[in-house]
Structure 1
Amino acid sequence: MDGQVIRLGDGYEARPVSLEAYRDACARLEGRIFGGGSLYAFDPPGKAPPPLGETLNWGLFHGEDLIGWHHAHQQGERTVYMADTGILREHQGRGLYTRLLPHLLEAFREAGYTLVTSHHRATNNRVIVPKLRAGFFLQGVNLYEGGVNVALTLSLDETYRGAMHVRSGLRQASGEVARRLGLDPVPREKAVGKTASVPVPALGEPAFDLDDGYTIRRVEAEVFREVYEQLEDAAYDTVTFDWGGPSPLPAPTVPTFTWLVEHGGEVVGWHSARQWDARTVYMVNTALLPGHRGRGLYTRLLPYLLGAFRAGGYTVIRSHHHATNNAVIVPKLRAGFVIAGLEVNHHGVMAVLTYTFDPVYREYLDVRSGLRRPAGEVARRLGLHLHPQEESHV
């Protein structure tokens, strides 16, 4: 793709440029693009930067006007690092980044790279969501001079991509993935995908319509557990650590909330939640049977659940998901959740997501990630006393 112009529609183009032209564009435009963020101002460096290796640079144009860029450089023998993308704010929100991304990935593939990596402030869903939809996986969270960053990785090798699912605990190892991981698993009967049928229990509150013949109904915890035990093996292919015995202590007594998703007189999914603390509800478990996935049902389900939690008086919602489970993480981020961390537990490597109904706390999360500077009510809640000119920088 070297030397080719990428046509992005609506008068936009990405044109290959030199490293010097990219740096010149940064010097002229980065204040207009990234102003308002929070980056720690280090003293001048004492060491020269390491050589970049191969660089891949594009200028983004609308007509003949330079309105942004993308810069990537080699990291190691198989990895390219998407180091910097900038688009003038007046050209954001038009799907330009989403349209550009597949062309960049194809250029990296043609250049011989296997892995594509990037870092983004943890609450910058406008960039994280397109990346996850393009196949990137959440790989880490780190605290750096710009705030809280999430690391994303895309594998252009499908076998390694399968290994990432195994590492997160989302799937069992098999075939070539198992061989590359040095494993020799015993073939086992796969439960997911089997026909499972449980009629809708007669108990519960009136059902809420989710369209296309689907409904959700609040049920008692005992009814939920009975259905869950019958359908669990049909819903999951995840790998959970076997503790080898019952829990030594009883579960804490907290408010719990349980729902069943129904279609055609049968249970096809569920959701359970419980109180986490005095402000927070924890979305414990959501599942849809295989034949009912890929229909936008989870996306339609989320607003109903958020409304129920808000009506219950909660301020914050928390959830955990396997780090490579983009089918759930993407709808949650699009609904307003943000990435709060990574955790290794008995289920695997889990992404921690959080949502808040409090707009000040939501802005506070952007401040913590470094996406914006503290101002107004957030600054007051943090005990900061900013001068008026500092307020105006946001």
Structure 2
Amino acid sequence: MNSVAIRHVEKFPEPDFSRLSREVFADIQQSSVELASTLAAESSTSTSGGLAHPPMYRLGAYLEEELVGWSCGWMERGNVFYMANSGVVSTHRRRGVYSSLLSAIREYASANGAVAIRSQHSVLNNPVIIAKLQAGFHVSGLSQSAQMGTLVELTFHFSEKRHGLFRTRSLPYVTPDA
């Protein structure tokens, strides 16, 4: 893993990045012809309604000049960094690449005033869910997606006080005698 460098990039090269993304997520994305045509139709008719999308922050993990992993996201309302998309090619998994990307995202988010990091993952993506739970993220919700099925939301709170508030409000009350 020592030879993989994490770098901020403005954009990933296309069509190579799209191919790499399809390859990385092939085992957890359940797409169909109907879903693909629905998503294509929606993207061709959608408008931003005049609202600008927050600037995307992208990190690439490079082995020399080969992109072997990435993570990208943006700041949301309330100073929460949304980690939108990450992936590591199969030949470089379990070598610390994702952990390095996660660490770099945490550093960036913290340096830019984030109070928390939020992400959503297919419930089938156990390696990432486990890595994030081990890194201090907590399950903060479940939702359904036409594209990805059931999603688990994970949140990392930068301050112990905020984490304590989360635990108090989200976990069932347990009496001290129990």
Structure-2 separation of matches of 1:148 and 1:135 = 22
Partner of 1:259: none
Residue of structure 1 equivalent to 2:41: 44
SS at match of 1:129: helix
* Contact map agreement 2:82 2:117 (CA 8 A) in 1: yes
In 2, distance between residues paired with 1:112 and 1:24? 33
Per the alignment, do residues 98 and 68 of structure 1 end up closer, same or farther by CA in structure 2, a change over 3 Å counting? Answer: closer
Q: Distance in 2 between matches of 1:111 and 1:152?
A: 20
- Whether 1:31 and 2:22 are equivalent positions in the alignment is yes
Over aligned residues, Cα RMSD in angstroms?
2.3
Change (3 A) 1:85 1:139: same
Give the match's secondary structure for 1:135: coil
SS in 2 for 1:123: coil
SS of residue matched to 2:85: strand
Q: How many angstroms apart in 1 are the aligned matches of 2:108 and 2:6? A: 12
Residue in structure 2 matched with residue 373 of structure 1 by the alignment: none
Larger radius of gyration: 1
In the alignment, which residue of structure 2 is the partner of 1:150? 152
What TM-score, normalized to structure 2? Answer: 0.82
The 5-angstrom pairing of residues 172-211 of structure 1 reads none
* CA offsets 1:170-226 (integer angstroms, 9 cap, x no match): 678xxxxxxxxxxxxxxxxx95xxxxxxxxxxxxxxxxxxxxxxxxxxxxxxxxxxx
1:281 counterpart residue number? none
Deviation at 1:158, TM superposition (A): 2.0
Report 1 or 2 for greater relative contact order, CA contacts < 8 Å, sequence distance ≥ 6. Answer: 2
Distance in 2, Cα, partners of 1:58 & 1:86: 11
Q: Which runs of 5+ in 2 are unaligned?
A: none
Rounded Cα–Cα distance in structure 2 between residues aligned with 1:62 and 1:97: 13
Q: Are the aligned partners of 1:22 and 1:58 in contact in 2 as well (CA < 8 Å)?
A: no
- Asked whether the equivalents of residues 56 and 74 of structure 2 are also in contact (C-alpha less than 8 Å), the reply is yes
TM-score, normalised to structure 1's length? Answer: 0.39
Q: Which residue of 1 aligns with 2:8?
A: 16
How far did residue 129 of structure 1 move? 1.0
- Which residue number in structure 1 is paired with residue 68 of structure 2? 67
Q: Percent identity?
A: 26
Counterpart-to-counterpart distance in 1, 2:15 and 2:173: 46
Count of aligned positions: 167
Runs ≥4 residues deviating over 6 A: none
- Counterpart in the other structure of 1:161: 163
What's the counterpart of residue 89 of structure 1?
A: 90
**1-structure distance, mates of 2:139, 2:85:** 18
Amino acid at match of 1:13: A
